[in-house]
Structure 1
Amino acid sequence: MKLLNIALFVALGTAGAQAFAEDSHSTAASSQAQVETYTYGTQLDIKRVIEVSEIADECGPVPARMTYEDSQGQRRTIEYQVMGSGCSNG
């Protein structure tokens, strides 16, 4: 009888762990915000900047990304164009 209880406990524990792993994976995937592309006139609702990407060492426009939190507490990522840091004056 004890062996049957232990086997049932292990089986239920394994199923619970798999369900938890699948749930945390889907939560991680949904927390990966879809990257929006900035265009002139885009209304931004930025409460707090979380991260800004490095600027590429090229001379010319390059993409950059900013991850921020909006006033609703949602994490968002926006991609925009900046002038690269590889231009020299001389």
Structure 2
Amino acid sequence: MAKPMTKAQLVAALAEESGMDKKGAATALDSIVSIITREVSGGGAVTLPGVGKIYCRERPERMVRNPATGEQIKKDADKVVKMTIAKALKDSVND
């Protein structure tokens, strides 16, 4: 598996692809991340066309097992961020 793209590499690629400077690309990327974070943490969802949908899901209270001791413990209800990948992206990976 290849190493994940770093933020600096992503900013450089975004700047090259869009024709803007790196500072503008970094600001745009930070703005997108901020908008997604605000929307998802507020209970909403964000769809990135061609990439997927990012949303928050609530998990109910449940029993889990401590792997070190085997003891059953109750885990409180919590929220998790999920992402559904778009079909176009799945198809491009498998071609």
TM-score, structure 2 as length reference:
0.30
Larger Rg: 1
Greater percentage in helix: 2
